[in-house]
Amino acid sequence: MVKKILWVDDEIALLKPHILFLESKGYEVVPVQSGLEALDMLSQNHFDIVFLDEHMPGLDGLETLQRMKAKNGQIPVVMITKSEEENIMEEAIGAQISDYIIKPVNPKQILLSLKKILNQKELVSEKTNLSYQQDFRRISMDINMIQSADDWAEMYKRLVQWEIKMDDIKDNQMQDILKSQFQEANRAFFKFIKNNYQSWIQGDEAPILSPDILKKYAFPKIEEPVLLIVIDNLRYDQWLSIAPVINDYYHIDQEELYYAILPTATQYARNSIFSGLMPADIKKYYPQWWKDDPEQGGKNLFEKDLLDAQIKRLRLSLKTNYIKILNYHFGQKIISQFGRFKNYDLNVVVYNFVDMLSHAKTDMDLIKELAPDDKAYRSLTKSWFENSPILELIKLAAQHKMKLMITTDHGTINVKKPTKVIGQKDTSLNLRYKTGRSLTYDKKDVYAVIRPEDIKLPSLGINSPFIFAKEDYFFVYPNDYNKYVDYFTETLQHGGISMQEMLVPFVHLSPR
């Protein structure tokens, strides 16, 4: 489709060579000599872009620009000016110009500006597709050769970065190829975890796991008051979606991916973070603060106690402040009390919104409509974050020059493939892992640990294994099988083995 340009300049006749050049490149150019003519032309015709002279008699360029934007705020405008005065450019930029060119203009400048504005998406799409095609074969080869936990973290980052780049293009075929490659990677990642996880837990060259992160990442860097934000269920791609918002207030000093323990569920992973222990050891040393899966009641009610116990065990002298935010209004209350944060060495804020969002996608049709895929889920996360009390806390922390750390306990995955499981009444309810007596399951779809103590998980009794779903599988009982398959397919779940659930961020930030 031919792109249509409105060119506004009181000396338009002198620009005839430029207009002929653009027409030779396939553009249609409509020339006018005044701001009033331009406004009249815009009210009667559609244009893809406007070139607007800043200095014109009568209605000048800035006034014309303001009136144009009042009529059509979306039309791109390129300001052409003889002046390089800062105040004029600031005024024009404030009125949302798309670009500006200093006279005398040359045809290549004009053409470059046009391509940058009108063809940016196509150019980005073409470049992204070409770059991914070139990297596709290398990624496939690298997936088959990975032998270390660190290399898997780097591969996950690489795939997520391609996933985010693909958000901006409309090539469904390339996006489908990337999804297939992600699935290929998760198949290999499952085998890697199945072959190595038990040896990690028993102390054999393990990567950083949930019990390690405060001891390794947080405590050594507390020299003055620190704000540690734990956003439950925050995947790495979601972190990347909110990072640009935080960038206005904080520099990213260090970004790590650590391995969430199995099960990748709050009860296990977050208690492990705050205690610095594996779940079986929490139950052993602090039975009053642990509940097994079948037991009634909250499973994460003693995180402050576990945190203080870890600090005492490590013989650290740290004064801690722990807050769990469950809703917007309580978040606002905490903001009003921010002044007391400076009295503590470590201020921990746990925020459960993203976890609630992922569960809401299962239970609410509205959330399913708002977040049908990972791209929309990232967008919804960013929208929440930009309007959340957490961002207000971050702004306040930046004003007080407070160091910031952001992490999570585990991620989540969009499940697609059902696998049958049979168990007793006391079998755990999670769709991505199960524990209970006499479980029956398809061995090829799970990582089964017959003796939970081998990976330092509490045992519910004799013949009570843990099983973890691979890739994007989820567990379904045979009763009403089709009903539950339909209900849970394409919902966000956690507890099993995938890069999205296990490889999660810990980020250090310094105030600007």
- Most confident residue range from 23-27, 80-84, 169-173, 444-448: 444-448
Q: How far is CA 157 from the centre of its chain?
A: 12
State the DSSP code for 209: B
The predicted-structure confidence for 60-78, as pLDDT tens digits, reads as follows: 888 898 888 888 878 889 9
Pairing of β 466-469 and β 433-435: antiparallel
Rounded mean pLDDT, 120-128: 65
Q: Is the pLDDT assigned to residue 92 strictly greater than 60?
A: no
In CATH, what class is 210-412+501-511? alpha beta
Q: Which residue has the higher pLDDT, 190 or 167?
A: 190
Given this model, what pLDDT does residue 122 score? 66
pLDDT tens sequence across 228-263: 999 999 999 999 999 999 999 999 999 999 999 999
C-alpha 402/C-alpha 339 separation (Å) is 12
pLDDT tier at 362, thresholds 50, 70, 90: low
Q: Can you tell me the distance from the alpha carbon of 36 to that of 380, in angstroms, rounded to the nearest whole number?
A: 42
Task: List the structure tokens of 502.
Answer: 């296990």
Q: Is 26 exposed, middle or buried (0-12, 13-18, 19+ CB in 10 A)?
A: exposed
Residue spans of the domains in the chain: they are 4-118, 121-201, 210-412+501-511, 414-494
Q: What is the pLDDT of residue 117?
A: 81
Q: How far apart (Å, rounded) are the C-alpha atoms in residues 132 and 124? A: 12
Mean pLDDT, rounded, for 293-297: 87
Query: What pTM, to 2 d.p., does this model score?
Result: 0.81
| Architecture of the structural domain at 4-118 | 3-Layer(aba) Sandwich (3.40)
Rounded Cα gap, residues 288 and 458, in angstroms: 14
User: Is pLDDT at 88 greater than 90 in this prediction?
Assistant: no
